Each structure stands twice: as C-alpha cells, then as structure tokens.
A and B are shown apart, each in its own frame.
Chain A
Amino acid sequence: MKKEDNSSVPADSEIVLGILNDSKDTLNRLYTSYFPMVLQLVLKNNGNEDDAKDLFQESIIVLYNKVKGGNFELNSKLKTFLYSVCRRLWLKRLNEQSKTIRNVQDFSEIIAVEDDLEKHEEKDRQFAIMESSLQQLGEPCKTIIEDYYIHSRSMQEICEKFGYTNADNAKTQKYKCLQRLKKLFFQT
C-alpha cells in the first residue's frame, strides 16, 4: 500500500509540465500525493479536515499561479513549497481567529514563501472583486462574458445560444456588458 503510494508520487518536473498543459491527471496525482501531508499538519495543529481542504486548495492555487505566471524556477521540492505555503497560511488563519499555538508540530522542512504569498494575496483580492462584479452584473451579461472570455466560445455560438439575429448584435451586447463589468470592477 505504502509502496504504491510512493511510486505514484509524480516527479516535480512532470507536475510543472502538467500544470502548464492543464492536465487533469497531473492535478489528480498532485492532490492525492500531497493532501495527506497537509491534513496531518492541520490536524496536529488545532484544525479539522475542512480547514485542511481549504488550505491545501489555496496552496495549489498559489502553485498554479506561480507556474503559469512564467519564469517559474524550481528551487525546492514542490512538496516543501506546498508545505511551507500551507504552514504559513495556517498560522495566519490561527492568528486571525486569535488562537495562538505555542509551537507548531512540523512534519517537513520549510522554505520562505512570503513573496509568493504576497502576490497570492493581491490575486486573491482581484479574484474576490471579479467575483462580486460578475455577481452584480446579472444575466444574461454574466453568461455572455463568461462564455466569450472564459470558455472561449466564438461569437457565432453565443449568438445562437442567446438567439441574437446576427453576430453583430451579439457583439454589441457583449461590448455593453464588458463596459459595465469594467465599471463595476474598477470602482470597487
């Protein structure tokens, strides 16, 4: 059982490549390989499995942003990176809940991840703003924007989906929606 687990731990370079290619398999292996480590950290330091889930997913988001942001250099093991991010985030969260923990029970070596977390916080904030802006935007604008910019559907498809008489009408609608979204996004 253990041996199988170990052999299925993917090589770091494989993972980085997989992340760049949006490979679902990579994500799956990454998740199953390293989630237990984070679960252990959180459980042993005053948390439960839901905390571990949030924390681990956040650390993967940090990793994905870092890798996809380009110029990613692998100067530590991915495991160490993920662990350090989780540890830092967990301590911060405990602090916010004004729970103090005297000494963290560690299960892995750690590296400094403050810079990455700062970037992540910035992205996190933008994410939250975007989320609320899209919420406020309302239908059908939200779906049009999502279809065009996120799901990369063509104007033709959108035109058919929403029953616009021609692509130009759809384009005009998309433009109006985008202007409103920009307004919402930048005013917050």
Chain B
Amino acid sequence: MKSDLELINLIDAYLKGELSGTVLSDFEKLRKDDPSFDIKVVEHHNFVSSLSEYGSRIKLVSEMNTIHESLDIQAIKNDVAPEAPKYRRLWNKYRINTAIAASVAFIAVSATLLSTGYFSKSFSNNVNLLRREINNMKRSQNALIKNINDKPSKGPSDPGEFGGTGFALSSNGYVVTNFHVVKGADSVYVQNSDGEAFKVKLIYIDPAYDLAVLQISDPSFENLATLPYTFKKSASDVGEDVFTIGFPRDEQVLGKGYVSAKNGFAGDTVAYQVSIPVNPGNSGGPLLDNRGNVIGIINGKQALLDGAAFAIKSSYILRSIDAIPQDSLDEKLVLNKRNSLAGLSRKDQFKKLEPYIYMVKVY
C-alpha cells in the first residue's frame, strides 16, 4: 500500500495527464477496484479544479482591469449619459425632496394662516365696507391753513374725510355705528337730519363685531324724545321684510329689502345676509323689521355680487352694550323697552325715525 503522499502525487500526475503505459492502466484499474481510492481521486479533482477556477478568475479580473484601464471612460460616459445641465441634474435628484418640502411648507403656512385668522381678512377684500369717502382729498396742509384762517365756527367747516351712518341707542346721546366707520379717526361728529352737527367721543369699540359706541359730548345737544324703536334680542327669520335708513348721500335714504340668509359672508354667524340696496355711507345704519325692531346694523356688502349686503345682528349690539363698564359712563345708558313704530305705515315710521339717525363724519 502506498502512502497518502505518493497517492496524491500520483493523482496529480494523472490529472495532468503525465501518466502513460502500464502506470496509467494500473491507476485506472485501481480506481475501478477500490471505491475509496476513486472517491479520493474525485475529491482531489474537485479541490484542484476549484483552485484552478480561483486562478482563472484572478487572471480574468486582472485582464479585465488592463482592458478597463485602456478605455477612455469619460468619453464613453459622455456618449451613453450626456450630462444634463447642473440644475437639471439637481432637479432630477431632489425633485421628490423638493415636492415633500413644498407640501410641508404649504401645510405649515396654511395652518398658521388659518390659526392666526389670516383668511378672515379676505372679508375686507370681498366685502365693501360701506363708509363713504366724502372727499378724496386727504387732509392736506391747505385744509389746515384754511381752518386756521377761517373764523372758528361751531361745527366743522370741512366736510370730513369719511362718512357713515349711526343711530341713537338712548335718548341721552349714545349713538352706535360701525367700528370701521370711526377707525383711525382724529375726531368724529354726528349730524342729524336737521343739519346740526355734534361732537362725539368714542366710548367703546368692538372690532371683532365691527361695532363702535359713541356719546355726544357737545354742550348744544339736547336730550331726544323717547326712542320709538327697540332692539330685538332673538334672531330674525329668513324672508323677514326689513328696511334701513342711511346716509349714502347728504340726506337720509330709505332702503327696503328682506333677510336673505341667516349667516353673513363666508358663514359669518355674527351677521345676516340681507337683500337690500345699500351704498357707501350706509354703514352703521339700523336694520329694522316691519314692527320697528332694530334687528341689525348694516356693515357691508359683497363685492362683485348684487343684492348681498350684510348686517351685524342686534344681539351682538346688545352684547357690546353689556360689555361697556357702566361706571365709566357719565350718564346711564338705558335701552328703550317700548316700541311705538309697530302698526304704522312705512312713511310714518320713517318720519318718526328721522331724528334718531345720524350721519357720522370722521376727520
């Protein structure tokens, strides 16, 4: 029996085809006769072939590397994938990220604007607040000089910059109008249907409900007779006939219409939508029903849309009045509880109402 060393060398020689003649035939006979030897040959053969595979792979890779080095990679690159302009590549690479970032930003901005109430500002874009620009001329030095040179008069000589309407809350000189009418005012006057102007002071403002309460502070003012109208506490129904009196020009104008929706612009629950002809200057005018109850106060109309005016509900007027600290008032503000307009014809109602509706002039 041969040693393992000799056997392996023999097998190596066999695999390399170095055996010949009787040695080869002996070898093949031994393989046939002795299965354990045959297995040894096969095992060794497998191992040697995996060794040579390893070798050929190394060789192949090194050959390929040589070829690879001889190639002009940049040229091939330009050929198969022409480089897009930089911004284009960046865009391709980051467009998904950009899209995500943009959506996140959009949501964040929308949420912020929504939570800060930015969108409610669109109200002012779509709703024309109905204060009247009496004079486009801004207060200029000329006007001031004129005032100084003119003899001092009781009322203002200047017709004022803006105008609106207001109406009496009580007989002792409290008047309600829209906040936007008196907003930014230096001084405010009210003028009654007889043309008498009285200086007023701002008692209370409520920008959220667009309401302002004024008090006539002029010494020439005499208390009014008892108010003919009352303030309605409950909400009015859609379809209710209503009318308003305002100062779209320099005298009182009656407008007639009906409540057309329970809520105001963009679902604003503070206001009614009213189908009534109103114009700049009507702001602050009372909205009354047939029985002479004040159900609201005109404050605006929708731009680019006919027949949609808005009126703040009377319950919010009452709420504002309640919010005024009574101690701070010189005179008690007591609302009228008796209505003397019910059952009268519209023209009699108008006559009775006339003295209580004021033109509000803002300087």
Contacts and interface: CB of A to CB of B under 8 A. Distances in A.
A101 to B, nearest CB: 12
A43 B80 contact: yes
Given A49-B73, A130-B50, A145-B51, A152 B81 contact: no
Interface in B217-252: none
Nearest to A68: B56
A146 interface: yes
B352 to A, nearest CB: 77
Contact of A149 (B55, B67, B76): B55
B203 to A, nearest CB: 67
A43 B77 contact: yes
Interface in B60-82: 60-61, 63-65, 67-68, 71, 73, 76-77, 79-81
Contact of B57 (A22, A61, A134): A61
A35 B56 CA distance: 21
A interface, size bucket: 35 or more
B108 interface: no
Contacts of B60: 27, 60-61, 64
Contacts of B347: none
A24 B63 contact: yes
A162 interface: no
Interface string A81-121: 00000000000000000000000000000000000000000
Nearest to B83: A43
- Residue with the highest number of chain B CB atoms closer than 10 Å, among A39, A40, A49, A149: A149
B61 to A, nearest CB: 6
Nearest to A27: B63
Contacts of B71: 31-32, 35
B279 to A, nearest CB: 60
B77 A123 contact: no
Contacts of B61: 57, 61
Contacts of B51: 130, 145, 149-150
B67 A27 contact: yes
A183 to B, nearest CB: 12
B68 A36 contact: no
B76 A39 contact: yes
Contacts of A164: none
B68 A53 contact: yes
A150 B55 contact: yes
A117 B47 CA distance: 22
B9 interface: yes
A171 B18 CA distance: 15
Contacts of B50: 126, 130
A89 B47 CA distance: 28
Contacts of B100: none
Contact of A49 (B5, B12, B53, B77): B77
Contacts of A150: 51-52, 54-56, 58
Contacts of B47: 182, 185
Contact of A171 (B9, B63, B65, B67): B9
Interface in A127-173: 127, 130-131, 134, 145-146, 148-152, 171-172
Contacts of B58: 150
Given A36-B79, A39-B80, A151 B55 contact: yes
Interface string A31-51: 110011101100110000100
B324 interface: no
Interface in B101-117: none
Interface string B1-39: 000110011001000100000000000000000000000
B44 to A, nearest CB: 9
Contacts of B73: 39, 49
A178 interface: yes
Nearest to B7: A175
Nearest to A40: B80
B9 A44 contact: no
A44 B61 CA distance: 25
Contacts of B12: 148
Contacts of A39: 73, 76-77, 80-81
Nearest to A1: B79
Contacts of A175: 4-5, 8-9
A145 B8 CA distance: 13
Contacts of B342: none
A28 interface: yes
B48 interface: yes
B8 A32 contact: no
A80 B327 CA distance: 95
Given A49-B73, A148-B12, A149-B55, 5 more contacts: A31-B68, A31-B71, A32-B67, A32-B71, A175-B4
24 contacts: A27-B63, A31-B71, A32-B71, A35-B68, A35-B76, A37-B80, A39-B77, A40-B80, A43-B77, A53-B68, A57-B61, A57-B64, A123-B53, A126-B54, A127-B53, A127-B54, A148-B12, A149-B52, A149-B55, A150-B55, A175-B9, A178-B8, A182-B47, A185-B47
